[in-house]
Amino acid sequence: MTGGLPQVDVTRLRSEYAGPHELLRTSDGKTLFIRVWKAKDKARASVLIFHGITGYSGPYGPMVAENLSASGYDVYGLDLRGHGLSDGRRGDYPSRERFVEDLDSAVALARSKSSKLILLGHSLGALAAIAAINSKPEPVDGLVILSAARRIRTGVYPKTKAGALLRTLFGVAILRGTPVIEYRRPGQLGLDDPLFTFKYSARFYTVLYGVGALAVTRMMRAGLLDSPNLRFNRKLSVPLLLGVGDQDELFPVEGVKEFHDEIECDDKSFFVVPGAHHATWPSDSWGPLDGWLKHRF
């Protein structure tokens, strides 16, 4: 079982997927799935999406990718290892080095399709986008971060119940690579979708956040993600856009603005969408993103 849903046959589902996609073979023999939304005519640039925790690339079609492709961009959506239609143990990452290598390979593939590439990291995908940019000098031409910040709304992650805490402690102490830590919060999507992931290993949190799983739990409850992996290792030399919905269940608007302000970048912009939640945005939300892309690319 994964997150209360039956274990899925990822290899079979991937082979049956008929929509546009790319398959990326990693150096350790795994297959990563990249969903594709092509522009009708010659693309202005390409956008590579890194999804949030529990999710995968599929839901980003109606959320944002279809809009971007209609506006003239080729869009690629990576399913992280252990998510969606990609190989790997559900809810785990074997190492930080493997995580970065997977991201670098996806960036290289998307870059090979276009002369211009913009990364779009949503929520946890911001950590992936930052890791990809920190990994190599000038790997992309622009960066968009949606629904991400250090400061979390008060009360989103309540005090851990005894049973969940024991599972976390057990996972940290003994089963570091086994997904035993449930990720739960109000307003979660995908509860009836078997390709969503709701259990994670202690190692996954360490790889993504750069600190131990118990530290991540404490940070979430305290309302401040003091993760070293949320920092750029140099001043950004590419345009940056940060966006958030005013109804975001996780991050307050002022918290996202604080995150925007702390990033060193000479060309950075910020926008707020009325009525948008953490992972559900109205169909008319994307004017600021579309305008920003067309102005610069």
pLDDT tens-place string over residues 137-183: 778 999 999 999 999 998 887 665 545 555 555 555 566 788 888 88
What is the number of H-type helices and E-type strands within the chain? 10, 10
pLDDT at 154: 84
Higher pLDDT, 297 or 158: 297
Integer Cα distance of 226 and 120 in angstroms:
22
Q: Where are the beta strands (DSSP E) in 79-141?
A: 117-122
Q: Please report, for residues 189, 214, 223, the alpha-carbon distance to residue 164 in angstroms, rounded to integers and kept in the order given.
A: 21, 12, 19
* Cross-strand partners of 277: none
161 Cβ contact partners less than 8 Å away, ≥ 6 residues apart: none
Say if residue 212's pLDDT is above 90: no
Q: How far apart are CA 209 and CA 258, in angstroms?
A: 19
Q: Closest Cα partner for 119 from 234, 266, 242? A: 242
The C-alpha atoms of residue 227 and residue 216 are separated, in whole angstroms, by 8
Q: Indicate the average pLDDT of the chain.
A: 91
> Looking at residues 197-203, what average pLDDT do you find?
93
187 confidence band (pLDDT: 50, 70, 90): confident
Task: Round the CA-based radius of gyration of the chain to a whole number and report it.
Answer: 18
Give residue-wise pLDDT tens across range 217-264. Answer: 888 888 999 999 999 999 999 999 999 999 999 999 999 999 999 999
Residue 271 pLDDT > 70:
yes
Encode pLDDT of 91-134 as tens digits. 999 999 999 999 999 999 999 999 899 999 999 999 999 999 99
pTM of the full structure: 0.93
What's the confidence (pLDDT) of residue 80? Answer: 98
- The CA distance from 256 to 270, in Å, is 9
Residue 136 confidence (pLDDT): 86
Q: What is the pLDDT of residue 3?
A: 41
Please name the residues in contact with 277: beta carbons below 8 A apart, sequence gap of 6 or more: 187, 245, 247, 248, 249
Domains of the chain: residue spans and CATH: 10-296 (3.40.50.1820)
pLDDT digits (tens, 9 = 90+) for 40-78: 999 999 999 999 999 999 999 999 999 999 999 999 999
